[in-house]
Amino acid sequence: MKLTKEEVLHVAALARLHMDDARIDTFADQLGHILEYVETLDRLDTKDVLPTFHAVGTQNAFREDIPAGHLDREAALANAPAADDGCFIVPKVIE
């Protein structure tokens, strides 16, 4: 499917992209190939296929939330670039 220059510029405007003239033909060709592939997929018979969120089964990969001890102050500050009186020293971010 061949896209026109106007169609490419319209899609670029919707995406808030600045498109220079040198790249319009390249994008028209690439978008045309994408639309041809979508047309190919559209011809597939999916009437007996159940909707899915994932192509393969997934499961929760999180660990159990078990309370544990915390770092002591010295261990927490051990790798800090700067510390003073048990506190991290960070650059000022609000003026």
Predicted confidence (pLDDT) per residue in 64-81, tens digit? 889 999 989 999 999 899
Share of the chain above pLDDT 70, in %: 100
User: What pTM does this model have?
Assistant: 0.48
| Tokens linked to 66 | 């078990």
Q: Give yes or no for residue 29 having a pLDDT over 80.
A: yes
Say what the pLDDT of residue 20 is. Answer: 87
Mean per-residue pLDDT over the chain, rounded:
89
The beta-strand segments (E) located in 1-95 are: 83-84, 87-88
> Residue 70 is which amino acid?
H
Cβ burial, residue 8 (10 Å; 0-12/13-18/19+): buried
Q: Give yes or no for residue 95 having a pLDDT over 80.
A: no
Cβ burial, residue 27 (10 Å; 0-12/13-18/19+): middle
Length of the chain equals 95
Average pLDDT over residues 34-44: 92
Q: Give yes or no for residue 83 having a pLDDT over 90.
A: yes
Q: Which residues contact 88 (CB under 8 A, 6 or more apart)?
A: 77, 80, 82
